[in-house]
Structure 1
Amino acid sequence: MPDLTATAATSSPAAAGDGPRGSDFARLSRQITKAGLLERRPGHYIVRSSLVVIAFVGGWAAFLAVGDSWYQLAVAVLLAVVFAQIGLLAHDLAHRQVFRSRRPSEIAGMLAGNLAIGMSYGWWMDKHTRHHANPNHEDHDPDVSPDFLLWSREQAAESSGLARFIGRRQAFLFFPLLTLEGFNLHVSSVRALTRPVIKHRGVEAALLATHAVLYLGALFTVLSPGKAVAFLLLHQAVFGVYLGCTFAPNHKGMPTLRGEEKLDFLRRQVLTSRNVRGGKVLDVVLGGLNYQIEHHLFPSMPMPNLRRAQPIVRAYCEELGVAYLESGLVDSYAQALRHLHEVGAPLRARVGASG
């Protein structure tokens, strides 16, 4: 695994990123601001939100029209895609890409997250903020905490119990485990509301409860118990896989940090992130997160501006000598899986030696 601190030390004449005209990031930020790429894009979000709402209402209308039939499994897949798109829209709301101020962002975020898809907006925002502050830092980024999957050999050496058991074959188990991610989001959301750090806990709890009553009520009123359970399992599984596949290419398999942080902001964000090449269809499918480097440098930049920011950021990184990684979609997953397999190698070797 590359040494990020060593990479940073040799990537620029000003290793710490400081110079007479300010930090490396400050100079890039001035270019981005001058290009107008931090300006809001209300037209985009009006159209996008309208299409998502139409798809959401249309999906549930199709559910009611199909009735008690096994064809509902197709509706379950459709609604899973719609739920994921709502989740991506909630992501943009949390970063204030849609509204400048906090209150409308929170209101829209809770309606999209808590009420529409059953995910706590406050919990997710708290978790995602910590991820952005320290991406791929094993001590501070909750997305690389070794709950089930292990992201470094150091984590593998320190692992025990279920994490150690899964870690041996985690590359093969990665996609099957994603089928549980939808359920994990719901459980984590409910658990988070017991913590006082979450604002508006009462409102969030009421919206989550309303979602659960309407969602489960619709399933078990329209469908027979067996079909309702099948719909629930398939819908949540596809929802989890979609969201997981949206976020997995961005940092998984990239270098991780431990202990004392030594990178400046620009290098911390760029060297731990990976972009995914693709056209405008991929932009829609991944919600713009295929421009992960640009998103991490400028989290409040509206999604449609990320494509325009990319050549500026890439050229600037080349000028500084900072590694800027882009991969195809399939290759990005392959890199992540190879990394997971490599991390689990010592655990497999230990089992083989003991056997």
Structure 2
Amino acid sequence: MGPPVTLLTDPPAPAGSLPAPARRRPAERATSDFTALAKAVQDAGLMRRRYGYYWTKLIGAAVLLAAWAVGFVLVGDSWWQLGSAVVLSVLLTQTAFLGHDAAHRQIFRSGRWNDWTSLVVANLFVGLSYGWWQSKHTRHHAAPNEEGADPDIDLAVIAFTPARATRPRPRALRWLVARQGWYFFPTLLLEGVSLHADGLIRVLGRGKLKRRWVELTMLVLRLGGLLTLVFVVLPPGKGAAFMAVQLAVFGLYMGGSFAPNHIGMPLVPARLRLDFLRRQVLMSRNVSGGRPMSVLMGGLNYQVEHHLFPSMARPHLRRVQPMVEAHCAAMGVPYTQTTLWQSYGIVIRYLNTVGLKGRDPFLCPLVAGRRAL
């Protein structure tokens, strides 16, 4: 894996006025489809920073995590600490959402401030490697749902694509893959362990990694510190139960927040070329529910808007959503939004269908028409 690269920012609008629609070539029309929207968003002031919002969130996260640690010590040796494990998992997931925002340059104008904020939040607070996640997530934003390019659909445990589902495998595994939609969410109970392990493997590996020793020091302090605190306060049995609950709930919450975004949306063949607007909109799904859902999912419920404007501050995603939906309707670009439970149903059905038949059941007409290219 190569060195981490800076996360994608919004494509700049070309200088000068747009050519008349009748004289524009297809590539120019595709470019201007997004340029017009970007200009309207910029003129509406929706790309400005929200320092008060984010400073409140960052300070609040640090205070709540410190308060949790004090409460954990005061409760002491008790099975009630399993409830404390659930609380910690929720706090860590909400804090991880802030690291995601900083990595996308949403918080500060300075790239350095954003980098260090995300580094501290991810490594020292949450226990995940910022360098590992940044590299992976950048590639996802560049090519969502593109076969061979998006690391989020290239997993060993779940077959997200027909190509993976039809690989030769033992009969028992074929039986499991055919029903993978049903065990996808239970599998997320192990996602917390996987996230910590993948980060450590990257930091301890030989590949090039910026600030390797800073990341390693923070991860050791965070992971070692929590284990020390837990097993000093709790006996081994209760301590092990606490860690199992904490990691399981953390993985389920994290995975349950990211799963609705793209799973079950069209897959993009490696040779297919799409303009920026269609590449991001057609492969992304919003989750309805307004502000409560935005709090629950850390703004990831506005996935279409986030992919179009990754450096937009989280509070502005709600305001830009009607503009994006109207613009897509005017351009004839399908815009997808469902409830959270509907999205989970789509995820289960999609994975089961892919696993059972090796097909992509959610292939949109645009992609289907260009597969032969």
TM over 0.5: same fold?
yes
Displacement after TM superposition at 1:345 (Å): 1.2
Displacement after TM superposition at 1:153 (Å): 2.0
The count of residues paired between Structure 1 and Structure 2 equals 335
Q: 5+ residue gaps in structure 1?
A: 1-11, 348-355
Q: Does 1:175 align with 2:185?
A: yes
Q: Deviations over 1:202-238 (max 9, x none)?
A: 1101111111221110011110000000000000000
**2:298 aligns to what?**
287
Contact 2:31 2:276 in 1 (8 A): no
Task: Identify if the C-alpha distance between structure 1 residues 270 and 307 changes in structure 2 by more than 3 Å, giving closer, same or farther.
Answer: same
> What are the equivalent positions in structure 2 for 1:337-348 lying under 5 Å apart?
337-346=348-357
Q: Does 1:199 align with 2:210?
A: yes
Within 1, Cα distance between the matches of 2:305 and 2:168?
A: 33
Q: Does 1:73 align with 2:73?
A: no
* TM-score of the two chains, using structure 1 as the length reference: 0.90
Within 2, Cα distance between the matches of 1:164 and 1:33?
A: 50
RMSD: 1.9
Within 2, Cα distance between the matches of 1:123 and 1:165?
A: 33
SS in structure 2 at match of 1:289: coil
**1:63 aligns to what?**
72
Tell me which amino acid in the other structure corresponds to 1:150.
A
**1:87 aligns to what?**
96
Displacement after TM superposition at 1:15 (Å): 9.2
**1:6 aligns to what?**
none
**1:318 aligns to what?**
329
Alignment match of 2:269 (pick from 242, 258, 272): 258
Q: Deviations over 1:159-178 (max 9, x none)?
A: 54697564222111111100
Task: Identify if the C-alpha distance between structure 1 residues 287 and 163 changes in structure 2 by more than 3 Å, giving closer, same or farther.
Answer: farther
Within 2, Cα distance between the matches of 1:45 and 1:153?
A: 41
Within 1, Cα distance between the matches of 2:233 and 2:26?
A: 61
Displacement after TM superposition at 1:138 (Å): 1.8
Alignment match of 1:134 (pick from 121, 139, 143): 143
Contact 2:141 2:307 in 1 (8 A): yes
Within 1, Cα distance between the matches of 2:289 and 2:27?
A: 31
Q: 5+ residue gaps in structure 2?
A: 1-20, 359-373
**1:329 aligns to what?**
340
Contact 2:99 2:118 in 1 (8 A): yes
Contact 1:149 1:166 in 2 (8 A): no
Within 2, Cα distance between the matches of 1:63 and 1:28?
A: 49
Displacement after TM superposition at 1:273 (Å): 0.2
> What are the equivalent positions in structure 2 for 1:204-283 lying under 5 Å apart?
204-283=215-294
Contact 1:16 1:264 in 2 (8 A): no
Q: Does 1:189 align with 2:211?
A: no
Contact 1:148 1:163 in 2 (8 A): no
* TM-score of the two chains, using structure 2 as the length reference: 0.86
Within 2, Cα distance between the matches of 1:24 and 1:131?
A: 22
